[in-house]
Amino acid sequence: AAEKSGLELDVFAVQTVLPVSICAIIVMAAAAFFWNKYLDKKENTPMEKIDVSEIKADAPAFYAALPFLPIIGVFLFNGRTIPGLSLD
């Protein structure tokens, strides 16, 4: 799509894909919130408060960086960051 539009991949990703993605994330977050609230009422799920210190999270810290790898790839392989390194 970036090639057909005549834009560089990183410019296309930031100017076109990023705004659409942000809007989609906001809409999906709102839909998930209301859908889950509806299902909780439908199934009569009790709302109870829990202590967050009881939740055990033992995932490796580098998992937090994994969603950013495609974004880093777009800027790394654009052909300008490292000359000669590009996706054709």
Whether 87 has a pLDDT exceeding 70, the answer reads no
Distance CA 22, CA 28 (A): 10
Q: Using the 8-state DSSP alphabet, how is residue 16 labeled?
A: I
What would the pLDDT profile of 22-58 be if each residue is shown by its tens digit? 999 999 999 999 999 999 999 988 888 888 888 888 8
Percent of the chain with pLDDT over 70: 94
Whether the CB-CB separation of 32 and 26 falls below 8 Å is answered with no
6 phi and psi angles, rounded to 5 deg: 80, 15
Mean pLDDT over each residue of the chain, to the nearest integer: 86
- The more confident residue out of 82 and 68 is 68
Per the structure block, which two tokens stand in for 10? 């990183």
* Closest listed residue to residue 67, CA positions, set 2, 21, 1: 21
